[in-house]
Structure 1
Amino acid sequence: MVHDDIANAISQKNAPIAIRLLLGGNPPRPRLGRGTENDLWDFKADCPSQLHDERTENAWAHIAADVLAFHNNRGGLLIFGLDDSHNFVGATRILDSKKFNDRIRRYVGDTLWVDYYREYIQPDQKYLGVALIPPRGPSVARFKASAPSIGGKRHFERGGSSLREHDSTMILSPNAADRFARDQAAPVYGEKYSVDEPFFRVLAPEYLHFLERPDIGNRIEKSLRDPRISVTSLIGVGGMGKTALATWAANRAYASGDFSFIVSTTAKDRELSASGILGLSAPLTSFEDLLDQICDVLGFPEEKENSTQARESVIRSVISESNGLLFVDNLETIDDKRLISFLDDLPLGVRALVTSRRNSVRTAARPIDIPALTDKELVGFVRLLATEQAFKHAAAMSDAQAVEFGRAWDGIPLALRWALSRTKSVAELVQQASISTGQRLHGDQLLEFSFRRVFERLTPAERAVLETLAILEQPLPTEAVVAGAGVADDRALDAVEELVDDGLAQRVFDSDRNDFCFTILPITRAFVRHDFQKHPGASRAAQRRLSSWFEATDIENEEQRLLVREVRAGKNSDDTALVDLAIAAERRGDYDGAEKLYQQARARNPRSWRAARVSAEFYRHCRRDHLQALALYEVAGSNAPKQGSERAVIYREWGILLRDSGRPDAVSSAEEKLLVSHEENPSDPIARHALATCYDRRGAYRLVIELLEPVRETSNSKTREKSLPLLLKAYQKANEPIKEAELRRALSTR
């Protein structure tokens, strides 16, 4: 278990805890049972020198291979200063994070940052060097350059990769790296927000595929724009796709610039703890959570310290006649009449988009009942599902069979997905359809019947994992799932993957843990918890196992138990309050006070990407100190989440600052950062335009065209205003007279 705890500490970039769990004493030695090199750590007597001769360069290439190997696994530690017998001999060459990364950057790129620590410094200045390598995100990392040729051989080739297997670094050729990347590809759900910026916070889609429903979509958008309607309420049975449609509409509203602000919240955000699980403070009610979200998005977090009544009063005055949108998902699960009252009496000009199984809001509300899929939509939905590996057999269904199958399950998308799981052929699907038709069930009853058919066919390990995921509403890391299920590790891991494939569980990315976690849909959780009532003993046993894991009762040493407990809870030093106070001081114009608070926040948690990012923006816009802003963005970038909207924003702003820095390598450095941002969030028009300006500066006009042509028809006027003149120039330079003429005509008619 300690092996997993060290992995968690590495994933959270919590080097002090990782080092203390691995090493003890002074001079240091590996703790009992941790002296064997493995897939998480490697011992070396010394680090390479800073010379630039062939031999030294080759030594650094080998270090780069180890770094990439750990990065492609679960992250790891390179320990310098221990000999082959694990005795402390001390590293002699003085390094820091910058020097270490400067030597490996050409091989691993600029987006992988390794933190280097000098620990246990002796009187003769020998020390223990610790390089903490973070784990990768969903993409396999590759070598950016080939290793030096020594005797006609290279340790690795550009485009290849490396993997850590047990105590060895395995080198992959470019072709082998391609195969490995394909094998590792997996659908990832759960990025919390697709947009998270001042005045806009929009929930990210939770679906892999979205089926366009033009009639319903038009009704939703028309209702949101209707000045007579305050609340647009999407209602219908569970599993009908209400959240997917509402999320689609909210993201469309952001792209079209219809609203001055958008605030999103969901009942699934509530972090509930089961009895005996963690000593967490009681969570805020959903109404207070909505008020806090509005405070955060509109930029006055200091109001969160006031009473609920005072907050509501301030918020009403601020958002009145503001043309803003509140998006509340899963309203029926929120047992808080104050929230319903607030939505029934929204300030003038503010609109709300809610999803619920029933119509809860009555005043100035337009309920839109989400109907079953039509025959045409059923065929389209089955074809979309058939693109997933687990449901590829559905591709063999004819259109008529798809319609028959869909009608048998009332055209409920989630019921269709569950019915497809655990089947291997069209014959099985047709048989299932006849069974469903014979039950004569509809709506929620049919959905539960669909779930029961899948649930009853689960293996004991799969059922144990699903029951563990139902205990808490927040996503659980893999180790917690294994501990709660109470089955062998390999069986639990296989069960998790099967449940994800079947659509019963979801893989989500937790930016605080910097790792993937697992959760289930609220409707699935409700069905599983109902089953708990039939087997209360099994439920209590799973809760006890999960509680024991979070409380680290398996760790005998009391000091280490406290460290492990912190890691398992996913908690780092909390700088949130200091950052909020700094933002409030900045808004008041108290720049000196804000600067001190930002400094305190960074001192409390030096690896906080949040504190570094907001501090960078303070120096950029308030102090006009772009050098300090760049330095802070380097800190934010090196500690950013492995994927997601936060990473995209950090790399976007970092790239824009670099582009305008006046450095000799400004364009190439900016381009590298902006590419990361664009890959993380291809729909971001700011990153797209900034990257296009880099291509323009180096004369890569074909790349400008490729990047900006998709925005020609965008409804966002700001994006068109900035991007189309640059696209016109690219057409001119690339000798595209027809496209140039078409764009000129289009611009003249706007």
Structure 2
Amino acid sequence: MIKLAFDARDYGYTIISRFEKTLRNYLNNELLTRTDNIMNLIPTGVIEAGERRINNNSDFNDILENIDFIHLKEIIIYKDNYVCLYDSSKLDKKDFINIMDSLYELRCKIAHIRGFFTNSDLNNLYNEVMAICVNMIHIDEDFLMFLNVVLTTPEELVEKVPLDFLSDSIKNYEVLNNIPIADYEYEGGFVGRNDDKEKIIKMLEDGMHRVITISGAGGVGKSALVLNIVNDILRKKIIKYDCVIWVSAKENKLTYLGIEDIEPTLKSYEELLDTILDVMGFDYSSYITLESKEEDVNILFDACDKVLLVIDNLETITDDRIINFILDSHTKTNILITSRRGLGQVERRYDLKQLKEKEAIHLFRTICREKNLVKLIACNETIIKLYVNKVYCYPLAIKWVLGQVAIGKDINNLIDNINESTSDISQFCFEQIYSDLTREAKVILCTLSLYEDNLSKGILKYISNLNEVIFEDSIKSLVLVSIIIPEQTINKDNQQISTLYSLLPLTRGYVKAQLDKESILKQQIQDRMLTVDNTLEEAERAQKQYRYSLSNLGANTEEEKVAAMLAQTAYQKYQAGNYLDAVESYKRAIEIAPRFSSIYRNWAVMESIENHWLEADSLMDKAVKYSPEDVQIWLSWGNIKRKNDKIKDAFSYYSKAYELNPDDNVVLNSYALALSRMGEYEKADNLMNKALNMGEGKPNNRHLIINYTSIAENLKKWAEAYSFDKDYKKAEEKLKIALHDMELAVKIDDSDIRSSILYREILIDLGYLMKNMKQFDKAEVNFRKVIKSSTKKFREMEIYSRAIIGLLDLFVMQEKIDEVKKIIYEGEKIIKRVGKSQLYKLN
């Protein structure tokens, strides 16, 4: 360990500058001995970088002196240079790359005079430089002696960091700042994002929001974008800041050698204050109390016109005082945050998506040139497009894959396995965020992972099996951490705005791998998915069937179709006697599709059956609110009122349905029935016959049966009115027409109970009418038709009993005693068949 008598940064500069000089000399000497055409031993990207600084002079010595530190590594690992320069049996090429990357970061720390370069950093620097040098094929003994002197008598060698070393790193802006070196400069440069930059700079200029959060998944390029924006603002003087302060809570980074831990510059609230004071030229070590630091920071901010504070990687911060500092930010500050999670309050959130396809292709090509990946450089755009889309155009994923290829990995295997939960890219981007999620949020993610297409809110809620409150809280947390993407869309069928959710593309494979570990949960989700799929298929079939069937309900969206399925479930539960369970199913259907009027309608019908008239009206009010032009709703409401003997209300609702669709045979029938109940028999008859004519010839005979039955019922009541007025001829005329219509209905379907009962009732009415008209033979014929009919249902037995009584009365009037005995005998057989108790009920 180095014993410090000077500033650690000065020690560090002394070592790294001498090491860099030694390494350049080593490359110059060794490579010149290998070939006459030394340029063949240097990557094209490195040559281009050097030539840009020396006006295209291709002299190797000049290029070597004008390239950056990181380029030295690229030369050493290029082609077979490494085995000629280093003893690979002692220092593996991968280890060499790892050490050189670490040295580059340490060099950046030294160059950032307003950042932190610790004693631990200095010791790491010494050890890593030593590891590089002792494994050279031709060891530089002078440099090793130099390192030894640094350990023993450093005062003879240590020198202060010169300003020109600093100016290359912090960019000599007029504004006080500690912005870091842009590491993307050595990994393909900064590509694209012009639209994003323009929007974010505009937000900063407007000053409408003091806190702006750039959110997005790990690896999408949040930090790089913000750093590029800040450099643009300072270089072009877009916004006049007095000071720009950069702090980072980043704890690890992804390189092509794996996930590496790094030391964050921000771990606590006090470190935040220290950095602010340091950048603004104050010695934070001279402060005794935290309060005095807070006071001076506020005084400094008061003295400024505007200060920009950048907090990188907010999601790893656990000190609540930092969050409170942001929430209660000074009026003179802009705070620009990068985070996978965000604050969830006070911030203006900007969601950063993946690169555009063209930008991703450009980045791919640039990195290939820099790393001299010859075969990939030669690929046509179609192949490269395939590669970048397989990694979802994520800049970090592109860099990671190509970095792996540069050390000998197969690109196809890398890309095929990039979604595996064990891959570095998946772990780096998602592992921490996923582990912090609630169980319910994970269920939603797992559900989305099994669907390639976007899912509507209702479908997602049903499959994840969560109640409204928990679902909304879970969705909010997932959007906050940028793992799912909400999208507003307008449904073409009903013109309503709905929300679709999709899973962040790069997340899918990782989440699927997590789901594979939970077989029970996976089976539950798949079972509910199957139910949804079957429901949607059934809904499509239902549209081709009777249009008012329960299985259809007029559902258009997938949410409505699932809600319709739950309504079917509710109906089945109610039929089985489980009223309370049916109510819960209806509530769940409403949660899935809260604006689906048909659910309210069907629920109201169930409540009306229970004689819960107020509840039924309340539900119908909601149905009308969401679909005021829906004929079926007004029709159903009219039916509910009719059953509750609210004839005027029923007539009003039927009238509304008739107004909306005067050519619908079901509407015509219902409206006509209301007229019939009000004694408007002739108007009712006209409308019913109009409905009948509309229904004839159609493949669905159900409408015909309903029409014939409705006409007959109206004619039966009309005949009763004529009978009451002693106009037996007109009564007979109406009953005969009614009988004819019911004969047609029974012929269509002799198993239809309602038409069968009405047919017999009309025969009874005709029998009594003929008896009153003294046409006894005709009366007997009608009574006997009823008696000869099969009697299985209770209502049929009741009508049978009335026919027997009518026939007895008829024979008594004619003094046909033998016929009376026969009827009595028939009655005794009935008693034996159905029992005395049933007969008493019939009478």
Same fold (TM over 0.5): no
TM-score (norm 1): 0.33
TM-score (norm 2): 0.30
Comparing both structures, which one devotes a greater share of its residues to strand?
1
Structure with greater contact order relative to length (CA < 8 Å, sep ≥ 6):
1
Larger radius of gyration: 2
